[in-house]
């Protein structure tokens, strides 16, 4: 008539240790995935900002009377909005003249200088954006 109750004390104590071990095994994987997601987001920011900077610089360069210095300044202004460091801006032709038919702007942005801190994911990657536009002419 008297029922014996089972004690759950031993079971909860062993479960606490299991949770600690599971956390110790899973936490590093979760943290690596979290930081990888942040770095991939930064790569996308740098890529899209470099594309936009090349486009805006080329737009500046196709206007009659534009100089290569103005084109480079336009590119660097856009790159500065996303804090992109040590980007190389190439403009072809080097000297924009009235008879230049096209302008090409190329931007090289090294990820080693533009990561959010975890450089192990993209240590040697250089993102390149290039655009070529025909110049506007006055007739």
The Cα–Cα gap between 8 and 95 comes to 83
Query: Tokens for 99?
Result: 């008879």
DSSP assignment, residue 112?
Answer: G
> For the whole prediction, is pTM greater than 0.75?
yes
The C-alpha atoms of residue 35 and residue 92 are separated, in whole angstroms, by: 38
Give, as one character, the DSSP assignment of residue 99: T
Domains of the chain: 11-134 (3.30.1300)
Look up tokens 């606490």; give the residue.
16
Report, as an integer, the average pLDDT of 33-54.
93
Mean of pLDDT values over 15-23 = 82
Q: Which of 14-18, 86-90, 113-117 has the highest mean pLDDT?
A: 86-90
Q: Is the pLDDT of residue 86 over 90?
A: yes
Q: Tell me the per-residue pLDDT of 109-130, one tens digit each, with 9 for 90 and over.
A: 999 888 887 776 788 899 999 9
């Amino acid at each position: 008539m008297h029922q014996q109750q089972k004690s759950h004390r031993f079971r909860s104590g062993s479960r606490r240790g299991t949770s600690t071990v599971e956390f110790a095994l899973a936490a590093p994987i979760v943290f690596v995935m979290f930081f990888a997601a942040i770095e991939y987001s930064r790569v996308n920011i740098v890529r899209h900002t470099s594309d936009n900077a090349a486009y805006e610089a080329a737009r500046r360069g196709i206007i009659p009377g534009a100089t290569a210095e103005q084109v480079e300044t336009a590119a660097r202004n856009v790159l500065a909005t996303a804090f992109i460091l040590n980007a190389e801006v190439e403009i072809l032709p080097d000297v924009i003249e009235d008879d230049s038919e096209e302008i090409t702007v190329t931007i090289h942005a090294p990820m080693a200088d533009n990561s959010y801190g975890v450089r192990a994911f993209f240590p040697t990657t250089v993102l390149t954006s290039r655009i070529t536009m025909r110049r506007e002419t006055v007739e």
